[in-house]
């Protein structure tokens, strides 16, 4: 397996843990965008809504939808404890600041 595939497997396992934890914690969560084609990432970047090198392209990011805004922080705290490279969009600054639904695994300097 390649290094990227190893990361994808780890990301998927951690995502399963996060979703299970959310359910057990009473957090209603729905899936948003998980995989993003490079062409869509380029379009979003052009619109100022993301990066053309998005981790969604590499299947290392997912957007989650939660009913209660406070639940994002709770879920993010759990997510970041699962792996040192796990990131949450609510911690981002700059043009991607406030991307509360974004949960990813950083690699190569990308979040």
Which helix H or strand E contains 14, and what residues bound it?
Answer: helix 3-24
pLDDT computed for residue 74 by the predictor:
98
Please measure the distance between the N-terminal and C-terminal CA atoms of the chain and give it in whole angstroms.
22
CB 79 within 8 A of CB 103: yes
Number of CB atoms found within 10 A of residue 66's CB: 17
Q: How far apart are CA 45 and CA 105, in angstroms?
A: 19
Give the H/E segment covering residue 15. Answer: helix 3-24
pLDDT by residue (tens digit) across 79-111?
Answer: 999 999 999 999 998 878 889 999 999 998 888
pLDDT for the residue 109 = 87
Beta-carbon contacts of residue 51 (< 8 Å; ≥ 6 apart): 41, 44, 45, 96, 110
pTM over 0.85: yes
Q: Is 23 helix (H, G, I), strand (E, B) or coil?
A: helix
CATH class of 3-105: alpha beta
Report the pLDDT value the prediction gives residue 96, as an integer from 0 to 100. 81
Q: What are the residue boundaries of the structural domains of the chain, listed by start?
A: 3-105
Task: Note the pLDDT of residue 91.
Answer: 96
Q: What is the pLDDT of residue 95?
A: 78
Q: Which residues of the chain have pLDDT under 70?
A: none
Residue with tokens 């997510």: 79
Check residue 86 and give its pLDDT: 98
């Amino acid at each position: 397996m390649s290094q990227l595939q190893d990361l994808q497997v780890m990301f998927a396992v951690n995502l399963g843990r996060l979703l299970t934890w959310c359910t057990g914690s009473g957090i209603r969560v729905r899936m948003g965008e998980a995989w993003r084609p490079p062409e869509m990432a380029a379009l979003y970047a052009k619109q100022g809504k993301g990066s053309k090198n998005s981790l969604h392209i590499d299947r290392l990011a997912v957007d989650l939808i939660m009913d209660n805004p406070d639940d994002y922080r709770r879920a993010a705290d759990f997510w970041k404890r699962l792996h040192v490279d796990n990131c949450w969009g609510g911690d981002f600054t700059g043009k991607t600041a406030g991307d509360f639904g974004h949960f990813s695994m950083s690699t190569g300097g990308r979040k």
